[in-house]
Amino acid sequence: MPMRTITNPILPGFHPDPSICRVGEDFYLVMSTFEYFPGLPIYHSKNLADWQLIGHGLSRPEQLQLSTENPNAFGLYAPTLRFIKDRFYLVCTNVGANEGREGNFLIWTDDIAGEWSAPIWLDTPGIDPTIFADDDGQTYYLGTHKEIYLRTIDLASGELGPRQNIWTGSGAADPEGPHLYKKDGYYYLLISEGGTSYGHMLTMARSRSLTGPYEACPNNPVMTNRSTNLPLQAAGHADLVQDTQGNWWAVCLAVRPISYPLRHLLGRETCLLPVDWSNPWPVFGEEGHLPEIIQVDTAAAPKETQKKTSKPDYVTLFEWDPTLIEEEPHGFLLHPNQTGLSDQGKLAAVFQRQTAFEQQFQATFDCRQLTDGQAGLTVFLNATHHYEGYLEKTASSQQLVFRRQIGSLWKVEKKLPYAADMVTLQLSADKETYRFSVLDEQGQAQLLGSGETKYLTTEVGGVFTGIMVGCYASASSPQQTVRVRDF
């Protein structure tokens, strides 16, 4: 039988906590975005392996406010996407101090590639919400608050019924990320345990009754890569989907460590694995492990009907403010404020994900309308961990600068006189090093500076996100502009 090879991750770079649903022959996927906006990207696929960005659940600043506190740890947590009675629904948690615009919420749309509703705020605690529609038409909300709990929900109003605690997990730390499925007369509850790090795992329980009691799978954890030498680690937080041929699949998150002791750079990434549910309890992947390479026969494999998209998901921090950022046909027009990369605030910056260890980024900056500020290219984990190469202009000087910040330590490592107002900067990455260069008129690169990747890993300075590469500008006075091309 001919075989097809699928390589994980299917969505590389910072794409954690995936949730999936199918409508006809179309699959849709969403994931967490934390402090980045637009938030909750929606991806579409016909074959489960190749995905195209088609929109965002949160694309308007008036929908909600993202907290500027606690970098990499606040914002949009673990959404769930479902299609119920001809309408798409997203439930999610906005974590942070936002004066009433935080907590769990519900949004909906009839056009998944279009705009989503304003949030319906849900008066219920915890994180990692999901919704489940039973055969009788009743819908339920499941959440994580010390344990997994269940409530009825009216999807039109957000009104919730009484809370019923249904499972505490298998005994490991941090039972979270619940999803509920009904099969062969049983309710199957899939959760994650062990924390979203190297002890991560999937566990499952089932019951004949929705409210329990739930019996744990005798083979728990049903999937984990902990205590293995597999290239994908920290695997967990999964959601299940059935294709048109009746095959079951799971999407989950995992990381690709770059060194020992284990450190990961790109963030938690979305992966795919087959699920054999021919017996009462499902078997995930290869005997309960997430493989990097999936070999499946073409009768069971997703069909190859599309190519992967090359369009980046351009985002910014906290809010896409048109007074700071304007999108143009070939780039962006930045109107800088005084906020810099280290200030943990709304700024004139546009980011895209680093999606491969060996990757190159480039952008041209037109700084003719910048008189007392800086504009450049940054590799960014958070406000306290980033490297950048930039053009700096003052009343008395103009120079290229390479700067690094690692926690509370920062250093300007190189200054190079530069007279032109147009500059093309390049960032080259491999597993060990980031290299910043300036290109001359012939396209030849002159090294501006370099820094180790390990100091920008999650284990050194992050929490829940991954590396972003950005174009930014800041200025000490208003009414200045920087035009960014070909980023």
Tell me the CATH architecture of domain 3-297. Answer: 5 Propeller (2.115)
The span from the CA of 366 to the CA of 173, in Å, is: 51
For residue 403 the two structure tokens come to 């700067």
Q: Is 176 a catalytic residue?
A: yes
Q: Quick check: 355 and 313 in contact, CB under 8 A?
A: no
For residue 223 the two structure tokens come to 């999937």
Tell me the pLDDT tens digit for each residue of 215-228. 999 999 999 999 99
Determine which one of 176, 193, 239, 269 is catalytic: 176
Sign of CA dihedral 248, 253, 258, 262: negative
The span from the CA of 198 to the CA of 229, in Å, is: 11
DSSP letter, residue 117: P
Q: What was the pLDDT predicted at 271?
A: 98
The span from the CA of 372 to the CA of 394, in Å, is: 5
Least Cα distance to 130 among 204, 95, 181, 80 occurs for 80
Tens of pLDDT along the chain (487 residues)?
A: 467 889 999 999 999 999 999 999 999 999 999 999 999 999 999 999 999 999 999 999 999 999 988 888 899 999 999 999 999 999 999 998 766 578 999 999 999 999 999 999 999 999 999 999 999 999 999 999 999 999 999 999 999 999 999 999 999 999 999 999 999 999 999 999 999 999 999 999 999 999 999 999 999 999 999 999 999 999 999 999 999 999 999 999 999 999 889 999 999 999 999 999 999 999 999 999 999 999 876 555 555 555 554 578 999 999 999 999 999 999 999 999 999 999 999 999 999 999 999 999 999 999 999 999 999 999 999 999 999 999 999 988 999 999 999 999 999 999 999 999 999 999 999 999 999 999 998 889 999 999 999 999 999 998 999 999 999 999 999 999 999 999 9
Amino acid at 120: I
DSSP letter, residue 231: S
Tell me the pLDDT tens digit for each residue of 168-191. 999 999 999 999 999 999 999 999
- The H-assigned helical ranges of 343-453 are none
Determine which one of 17, 35, 239, 388 is catalytic: 17
pTM, entire model? 0.95
Rg (CA), the chain: 23
Q: Which residue has the tokens 């920087």?
A: 482
263 - beta bridge partners?
259
Query: How large is the greatest C-alpha to C-alpha distance in the chain, in angstroms?
Result: 76
316-486: CATH topology is: Jelly Rolls (2.60.120)
CB atoms closer than 10 angstroms to residue 236 = 30
Phi-psi label, residue 113: left if phi above 0, alpha if psi -120 to 50, beta otherwise: alpha
Q: What was the pLDDT predicted at 100?
A: 59
Q: Quick check: 480 and 373 in contact, CB under 8 A?
A: yes
Chain-centroid distance, C-alpha 177: 15
Least Cα distance to 62 among 345, 314, 320 occurs for 320
Least Cα distance to 392 among 410, 372, 412 occurs for 372
Tell me the pLDDT tens digit for each residue of 324-369. 999 999 999 999 999 999 999 999 999 999 999 999 999 999 999 9
CB within 8 Å of 455: residues ≥ 6 apart: 385, 406, 461
Q: What are phi and psi of 460, to 5 degrees?
A: -85, -45
The span from the CA of 388 to the CA of 375, in Å, is: 10
In the chain, what are the domain boundaries? 3-297, 316-486
Q: Quick check: 326 and 335 in contact, CB under 8 A?
A: yes
DSSP letter, residue 461: H
| DSSP annotation string for 248-291 | EEEEEEEE-EEETTTEESS--EEEEEEEE-SSSS-EETBTTB--
